[in-house]
Amino acid sequence: MLYKLHTARTCGVADPVLNANPSGIARSRNGGCTGTMSTKSRRTIYGGQIIGAKIRAESARKRAAEAAREADRAEAEMWSIQMEGYGGPAQPSPTIGQCLNGGYGWLEVECHRCKTRASIPLDAIRRPRDTPIWKLEAVLKCRSCKKGRTHTTKAA
């Protein structure tokens, strides 16, 4: 019997020492390579990275929505204080959607003619949400002045 030391297992490579057979009958290979190669699946390789990226994306969306809500609230508050303190200018003003997103659900208006004040829920106004508040001035009229002459109200 012939013994030979190998540093690596050879798959499919003919070894002249093992293949030498004076009778010419082929020997069976015991303990050889399986012939098929397998690797890790893509799910195994990239699954953790994909899950991590999804978590980071959801977190970023939540932070962005919160930042937009804070910005909308600050803009609506700034406009409200400006209108109350200085009486204007009404332009530029936040949109109905920005006010609702920022947590301001009511608009207080004052009639130019009779100085009547009223509060209007912003979600009940039948206008697109991207309508600026100052554009509502032309359609908001107090009930007593609406019957006689048509006067507009000024956003307060």
Q: Per-residue pLDDT tens for 86-139?
A: 887 778 889 999 999 888 888 888 877 788 888 888 888 888 888 898 888 877
- If pLDDT is split at 50, 70 and 90, which confidence band does 54 have? very high
Sequence-separated contacts (24+) of 95-99 with Cβ below 8 Å: 95/129, 95/130, 95/131, 95/132, 95/133, 96/122, 96/125, 96/127, 96/128, 96/129, 96/130, 96/131, 96/133, 97/129, 97/130, 98/72, 99/72, 99/133
Pull the structure tokens for residue 148: 């006689």
Q: For 12-51, how does the pLDDT look when each residue is reduced to its tens digit (9 = 90+)?
A: 555 555 555 666 666 665 555 555 667 778 888 888 989 9
d(CA 83, CA 75): 12
Q: Across the beta sheet with 117-121, what order do the strands follow?
A: 117-121, 106-111, 153-155
- What are the extents of the domains in the chain? 71-155
Give the torsion sign (CA, 64, 69, 75, 78).
negative
